[in-house]
Each structure stands twice: as structure tokens, then as C-alpha cells.
Amino acid sequence: MRGMCAGVLFLEAIVLGLATPVMIQVEDVSPALALVAGLGLAFVALVTSGLLRHSWAYTVGWLVQVGAVALGFLLPIAFFVGGMFAVLWAAAYFLGRKIEADRAANPEFYAR
């Protein structure tokens, strides 16, 4: 689970960082707000991807998803892109939990 969730957050951090200049140039968002919203959220996503060994970091990961969707108020396409990442995060989280539960229930199968 941790690897899949970390991958989603890492790729999301890249996209969020690249959204910052788009907010400034295309949507005329003030540079200060764009830097705080875009790069700030990208930084949180990147740091969180490395902290997923702690259970509380998954809650932060969910908050990053909320922030990415909310970025749509500054950059309308972010509603769609943030929503896609939220779906990817949810899939990685819930499928990862299911795989971990299956591994715990069937250790002899995965020992091969």
C-alpha cells in the first residue's frame, strides 16, 4: 500500500508544481497565492510521500487530495485533475489495504 500511495503523491507533487506557472500566466492568479497554493501543496505531497511509514501520513495524504481538488477554485481544470488524483489515491489506498489483509490471511501463499 505504501509504495502505491507514495507513487501517487510523488506524481501529484510534480503536477501541482507545474500548475503553479499556469495559475500565474493563464488564470492571472497573484504570484504569491499561486506559489503558496501550488508549490505549498506540492511540497506537502512530496514530504508526505516519504512519511507514509507513519499511519497519520495517510490522513495528510487525504488532505492533499482535498487541497488538489480545491485548487480548482484558482485553476478550473484542477477540479478534473485533482479529482483524477483523488481517485488514484483512493484506489491505491483501498486496494493496498485489501492486498495487505490478504497477505496477512495467507502468509504461506506469499512466502513463495
Residue 112 has pLDDT above 80, yes or no: no
Instruction: Tell me the average pLDDT of the chain.
Output: 95
Summarised one tens digit per residue, pLDDT across range 86-102 is: 999 999 999 999 988 88
Q: How far is CA 8 from CA 11, 24, 44, 47, 105, in A?
A: 5, 25, 13, 13, 26
Q: Is the pLDDT of residue 111 over 80?
A: no
Q: Which residue has the cell 507513519?
A: 54
Among residues 72, 98, 68, 59, which one has the least CA distance to residue 86? 68
pLDDT in the model for residue 75: 96
Cα–Cα distance, 21 to 59 (Å, whole number): 28
Q: What is the pLDDT of residue 49?
A: 97
Q: Residue 15, Cβ neighbours under 10 Å: how many?
A: 17
